Amino acid sequence: MKNKTAYQKRIIKLVVNGILATIALLFAIISTKFIVDKDKEILIPVTLGISTFTLALIYFLRLFFEERTKIKVIYAVTISSLYIVLTILGYLIKVNYIFFNIYAIFLSLIIIVSSVLKMIENHKKRSLITNILKIVFSILFALIFTDFSLEQEGLRLIFIIVNLVLAGICFYLAMVMVFSGIRRTTLTQILRKTYAIEILYGLIILIIAIALMLSILEPSITNIGDALWYCFAIVTTIGFGDFAATSVIGRILSVVLGIYGIIVVALITSIIVNFYNETKKENDDKIIKEEIDKLEHNDNKE
């Protein structure tokens, strides 16, 4: 990795961690399915072990992809080690189901340790609040599973809840990889400079208003949930076909929403393209100015 550029490292990290996070999520879901269906329960420790070991690998690989500061090294080594211990606990479940409880409590410990290390690394107000909430959640989460006298069905419920939390962690890591190329500051600038917030707000209000009308006036759509789903399909031009307007009023409302949705999509696309073009032009002008200043400085020296 030493000979790789920063850009190459970022791309490799994106690909490798994205694949690993997806694998971890897959096995977390598979192990949940085994316990819910009461089918192939013997494979639960294996799927749990693969999922948590993959998570350990993700954090360990950060040592090779990111700039090594003291706190980042401590964070990566600590969390990857804790996930290795969790992997061992997962395999011990086949010895005794009581390890479900220990597994759940230890997962809470990992979240707490991760949050504390994140707070040490990042002192910003938003980060502190987020991590404090995670710690509170983890403590409450652990307290629920301190009862080691639960029957089989109680342990089964513990496993489902714990695996949902584990799947949530895997999904979060996968989404971090997906959106890692989108800078929050850039997104904020787009929203501020281009009236995108007003446009999207108007679209949301129109969707809710038309959904309410359709749920009352359209005979083929019986509840607000189906109406919102139908409106989403129209606005995004996906058109699932699971719901369709049959009344005259329903069709008129669908046409109005469809036209507005097409306009909004076109506006947002052009807004983002124009913003990036402007940003690129500003960056190009900055580079040209720096080169001119450098040449002028060299000429003055001569």
Least confident span in 30-39, 133-142, 232-241, 242-251: 30-39
pLDDT band at 117 (very low <50, low <70, confident <90, very high): confident
| Residues 82, 84: Cα–Cα separation, whole Å | 5
Report the CATH number that the domain containing residue 292 is assigned in CATH.
Answer: 1.10.287.70
Question: What share of the chain has pLDDT > 70, as a percent?
Answer: 81
pLDDT band at 78 (very low <50, low <70, confident <90, very high): very high
Biggest CA-to-CA distance, the chain: 87
154 and 197 inside one domain: no
**pLDDT average, residue stretch 240-249:** 84
Contacts of 52 (CB under 8 A, 6+ apart): 24, 83, 84, 86, 87, 90, 166
The answer to whether 88 touches 102, Cβ cutoff 8 Å, is: no
- Residue 300 reports pLDDT greater than 70: no
pLDDT band at 57 (very low <50, low <70, confident <90, very high): very high
71 and 213 inside one domain: no
Of 112 and 276, more confident: 112
64 and 139 inside one domain: yes
Return the residue matching tokens 């403590």: 139
**pLDDT average, residue stretch 116-142:** 85
Whether residue 1 is contained in a domain is answered as no
- The pLDDT score that the predictor gives to residue 279 is 67
- The pLDDT score that the predictor gives to residue 81 is 93
**pLDDT average, residue stretch 58-74:** 82
Work out the mean pLDDT of the chain and round it to a whole number: 81
Total-model pTM: 0.70
Alpha carbon of 162 to those of 48, 156, 159: distances in Å? 11, 10, 5
211 and 177 inside one domain: no
Q: Residue 70: which domain range?
A: 6-181
258 and 229 inside one domain: yes
170 and 288 inside one domain: no
166 and 203 inside one domain: no
Least confident span in 177-181, 234-238, 243-247: 177-181
pLDDT band at 79 (very low <50, low <70, confident <90, very high): very high
